[in-house]
Amino acid sequence: METRTSIAFGLLLFSFYLAGRASGNIDFPKAQDVTWSSYNFKTLLTWGPKPTHYSYTVEFYGVGKDRVKNPHCIRTKNTDCDLTRMLSNLKETYYADVLSEPERGATADIVEFPHTRSERFCPYKDTLIGRPNFKIEVNKDKNKIILYINDPISAIYEDDRLLNMRDIFKDELKYKVTYRKAGSTGKKVQTTDTSQMELDAEEGESYCFSVRAFIPSRSLGKQLGEPSRPQCSPKENKSIFEEYGLGVIAGAFLVVLVLLIMVIALIVVCCRRGKAAARSEKENVALSPA
């Protein structure tokens, strides 16, 4: 009896669900964890959860401006939206709303669909600047090291070319250079206003460097970009172990040792054969008739 009651109750709930879908009065869960993610000005809006019987639409707007929809993010089943090219004013402060709506082709008798608003976001102030590449050059006198820094490329197009960070930030873009003498744990930090830096160096010594973009006008936690991969300058007057490495030296020593053993063995064999020949000759002389 209880089983029949449970089945009947389940069918009743399911019939209510179907009736709700038919009349367009079903619930649409709100989006959660609406987050901006921006790297070198490539900007995504992400959220969750994955929709089932509904979809999402993204609206964004500058402060005091009209709402705009990305055509690729209307009634979508995705949980991310690429807004890189839509946020044309990089210094504008933006908000985004993620609306929970019916699936494509479906309707609902709701005046205002559930929505979740993002935190505010300004590309110019909030995007993470990626790691720069740089080259190291040592002058002829071996007492100066020059760093040539390549400004990271952004995701922003202008006149069919991608802008770099210097194009966007102009004189606001600086670089913090962290360096140390190879083999030392003591670090120094120096800032340059340009994409080139010259440092004094001890002749013959190697120095290791790491570079990251620095925007002083930003809030404290967003002033520094991603650190570069460390690079070290070449070291002059290297010891034989630094020049060739322990493995190469050990291999060469082993080859010399083998050759020496072979020479010694050959000398021993030759000596033994010489002694045997001399002994045989004496014996033949002694046995010969007078």
Q: pLDDT per residue over 71-125, tens digit each? A: 999 999 999 999 999 999 999 999 999 999 999 888 777 778 999 999 999 999 9
The answer for 143, left when phi > 0, alpha when psi is -120 to 50, beta otherwise, is alpha
Same-domain check for residues 112 and 20: yes
Same-domain check for residues 197 and 166: yes
Same-domain check for residues 105 and 166: no
Same-domain check for residues 113 and 182: no
Looking at 191, 208, 234, which one is the last position of a domain?
Answer: 234
Residue 21, pLDDT above cutoff 50: no
Residue 194, pLDDT above cutoff 80: yes
Let me know if residue 26 belongs to a domain. yes
If one counts the domains in the chain, the total is 2
Domain that holds residue 100: 16-126
Residue type, 66: D
> Is it true that the peptide bond before 49 is cis, omega within 30 degrees of 0?
yes
Residue 138, pLDDT above cutoff 50: yes
Same-domain check for residues 168 and 114: no
Alpha-carbon gap, residue 217 to 172, rounded angstroms: 7
Q: Which of 19-33, 49-63, 229-243 has the highest mean pLDDT?
A: 49-63
Alpha-carbon gap, residue 97 to 79, rounded angstroms: 13
Q: DSSP state, 159?
A: T
Of 53 and 250, the structure prediction assigns the larger pLDDT to 53
Looking at 191, 219, 234, which one is the last position of a domain?
Answer: 234
The confidence score (pLDDT) of residue 258 equals: 82
pTM assigned to the model:
0.70
- Read off the CATH number of the domain in which 34 is found: 2.60.40.10
Alpha-carbon gap, residue 177 to 134, rounded angstroms: 11
Query: Which among 187, 184, 210 has a CA at the least distance from the CA of 197?
Result: 210
For residue 15, count CB atoms less than 10 angstroms from its CB and return exposed for 0-12, middle for 13-18, buried for 19 or more: exposed
The confidence score (pLDDT) of residue 249 equals: 74
Same-domain check for residues 48 and 108: yes
Let me know if residue 147 belongs to a domain. yes
97 touches 66 (CB < 8 A)? no
141 touches 202 (CB < 8 A)? no
Looking at 206, 234, 262, which one is the last position of a domain?
Answer: 234
Q: Strand, coil or helix: what is 106?
A: coil
Q: How confident is the model at residue 141 (pLDDT cuts 50, 70, 90)?
A: confident
Let me know if residue 285 belongs to a domain. no
Q: How confident is the model at residue 36 (pLDDT cuts 50, 70, 90)?
A: very high
Residue 43, pLDDT above cutoff 70: yes
Let me know if residue 51 belongs to a domain. yes
Of 88 and 290, the structure prediction assigns the larger pLDDT to 88
Q: What rounded mean pLDDT belongs to the chain? A: 85
Same-domain check for residues 148 and 223: yes
Let me know if residue 102 belongs to a domain. yes
Let me know if residue 225 belongs to a domain. yes
Of 193 and 290, the structure prediction assigns the larger pLDDT to 193
Let me know if residue 5 belongs to a domain. no
